[in-house]
């Protein structure tokens, strides 16, 4: 499967020459949807917000509600999830290319798909085709979604005790369902044909306690006020303001959100992923002219899809003696969208 991506900034695009692609954190994009010049990049992930609300016990989600936002910012998972997207080569790829401004640079890779799940599986990341629906409720959360399995495979080596993986898997799969199902709005056309890669900084379990890396963060409030500090899971940390109007520039995260009435944004963070785990053929293409040439060549001699065996399908007889004590747990939460 040939994937193509447009990136602003030649230096960022050339990272692929070392096998590196950057993924942007989803939280900063939710709080401030990007205006990149790419027609499809400003899609608002409202179903992701609904999934976040479900996981944090909120019935009527308002992302900028100060209490809801606080619960998200101190979460072990949500500030540490990243996404990037590619276009899947098809007969309308030249139309897709026309949607870009002239200052973009382009990269491409021939991705290796897992034979069973039809996903790309790396270390702490996986990729899958976007599913386009009129309404997300049309899609079945139960059953065998290939990306549920892909997510598990991407993090299983991080846990010596595989039982400790289950809480993380449940969160990631629940959120991935919303990220991989895009509702068709008035802007939708099938030109987009997106393949998404979801990455994460998965928390580890140490001495029975969940451990997550801190995230250095700049919070942008109203009237140009900035707050610099660190987001730490399950902790109301102190941020320092740049305002000289405050007698004390130090403020707790919860106080900032309350005083700003939740009307804040945060700076973006990027996670580099090693796409050599999912591709043996990746390249920097150059500008739009070079990308156009590549698309035309690939449409003429489109390579066959490449498959690898990252997963194994086994069937078990539940009546077998060694299966009687087996325990089964769900790998996702069913969200009422």
Digit-coded pLDDT (tens) for 217-246:
999 998 889 999 999 999 999 999 987 667
**pLDDT of amino acid 142:** 82
Give me the pLDDT at residue 244, please.
66
Calculate mean pLDDT across residues 44-66. Answer: 86
Average the pLDDT over 62-71 and give the result: 92
- Judge whether 222 lies within some domain: no
Angle at the Cα of 270 from the Cα atoms of 121 and 132, rounded to 5 degrees: 55
Q: Is the pLDDT of residue 247 over 90?
A: no
Distance separating alpha carbons of residues 187 and 184, to the nearest angstrom = 8
What CA dihedral angle connects 292, 294, 297 and 301, to 10 degrees?
-130
Which residues share a beta bridge with 128? 196
Q: Which domain holds residue 73?
A: 2-211+269-323
Assess if residue 35 is contained within a domain: yes
Instruction: Please count the CA atoms within 13 angstroms of the CA of 100 that sit on its side-chain side.
Output: 22
- C-alpha dist (Å) from residue 193 to 4, 43, 96, 188, 190: 11, 14, 9, 10, 6
Whole-number pLDDT of residue 58: 81
**How far is the C-alpha of 337 from the C-alpha of 327, rounded, in Å?**
28
Q: How confident is the model at residue 9 (pLDDT cuts 50, 70, 90)?
A: very high
Q: Name the domain count of the chain.
A: 1
Per-residue pLDDT at 42 exceeds 60: no
3-class SS at 39? coil
pLDDT (tens digit per residue) in 122-151: 999 999 999 999 999 989 888 678 999 999
Asked if the structure places residue 219 within a domain, the reply is no
Tokens in use for 6? Answer: 């447009």
What is the structure's pLDDT at 93?
A: 97
Does pLDDT of 285 surpass 90? yes
Interval 46-74 mean pLDDT: 89
Q: What is the mean pLDDT of residues 149-178?
A: 94
Report whether pLDDT(41) > 60: no
Q: How far apart are the C-alpha atoms of 99 and 220, rounded to whole Å?
A: 31
* Residue spans of alpha helices (H) in the chain: 10-13, 26-31, 46-55, 66-73, 93-98, 146-155, 166-179, 253-259, 288-300
C-alpha 203/C-alpha 166 separation (Å) is 12
> Would you state the pLDDT for residue 38?
52
Rounded Cα gap, residues 291 and 106, in angstroms? 6
- Is 245 part of any domain? no
pLDDT per position as a tens digit, 86-118:
999 999 999 999 989 999 999 999 999 999 999
Residue 170 placed within a domain: yes
Where is average pLDDT lowest: 17-31, 158-172, 261-275, 312-326? 312-326
Contact criterion met (CB below 8 Å) for 152 and 331: yes
239 lies in a domain? no
Q: Is 264 contained in some domain?
A: no
The count of C-alpha atoms lying within 13 angstroms of the C-alpha of 121, restricted to the half-sphere facing its C-beta, is 23
How many CB atoms are closer than 10 A to CB 276?
13
Say whether pTM exceeds 0.85: yes
- Is the CB of residue 257 less than 8 Å from the CB of residue 70? yes
Considering just the CA atoms, what is the radius of gyration of the chain in Å?
A: 21
Residues 6 or more apart in contact with residue 334 via CB below 8 angstroms: 141, 142
Q: Is 336 part of any domain?
A: no
């Amino acid at each position: 499967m040939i994937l193509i991506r447009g990136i602003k900034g030649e230096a960022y695009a050339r990272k692929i020459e070392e096998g590196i692609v950057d993924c942007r954190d989803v939280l900063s994009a939710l709080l401030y949807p990007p205006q990149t010049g790419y027609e499809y990049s400003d899609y608002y992930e409202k179903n992701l917000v609904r999934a976040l609300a479900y996981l944090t016990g909120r019935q009527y989600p308002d992302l900028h509600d100060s209490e809801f936002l606080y619960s998200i910012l101190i979460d072990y998972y949500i500030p540490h999830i990243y996404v990037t997207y590619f276009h899947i080569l098809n007969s309308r790829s030249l139309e897709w290319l026309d949607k870009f401004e002239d200052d973009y640079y382009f990269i491409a890779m021939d991705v290796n798909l897992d034979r069973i799940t039809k996903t790309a599986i790396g270390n702490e990341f996986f990729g899958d085709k976007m599913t386009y629906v009129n309404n997300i409720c049309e899609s079945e959360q139960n059953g065998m979604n290939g990306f549920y399995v892909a997510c598990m495979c991407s993090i299983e080596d991080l846990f010596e005790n595989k039982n400790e993986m289950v809480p993380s898997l449940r969160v990631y799969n629940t959120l991935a369902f919303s990220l991989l199902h895009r509702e068709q709005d008035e802007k939708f056309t099938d030109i987009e044909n997106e393949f998404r890669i979801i990455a994460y900084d998965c928390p580890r379990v140490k001495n029975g306690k969940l451990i997550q890396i801190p995230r250095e963060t700049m919070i942008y409030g109203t009237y140009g006020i900035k707050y610099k500090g660190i987001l730490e899971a399950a902790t109301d940390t102190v941020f320092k303001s740049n305002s000289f109007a405050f007698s004390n520039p130090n403020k707790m995260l919860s106080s900032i959100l309350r005083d700003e009435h939740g009307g804040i944004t945060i700076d973006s963070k990027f996670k580099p992923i090693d796409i050599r785990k999912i591709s043996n053929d990746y390249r920097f293409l150059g500008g739009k002219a070079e990308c156009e040439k590549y698309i035309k060549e690939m449409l003429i001699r489109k390579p066959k899809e490449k498959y690898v065996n990252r997963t194994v399908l086994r069937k078990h007889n539940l009546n077998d003696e060694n299966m009687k004590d087996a325990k089964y747990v769900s790998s996702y939460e069913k969200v009422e969208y």
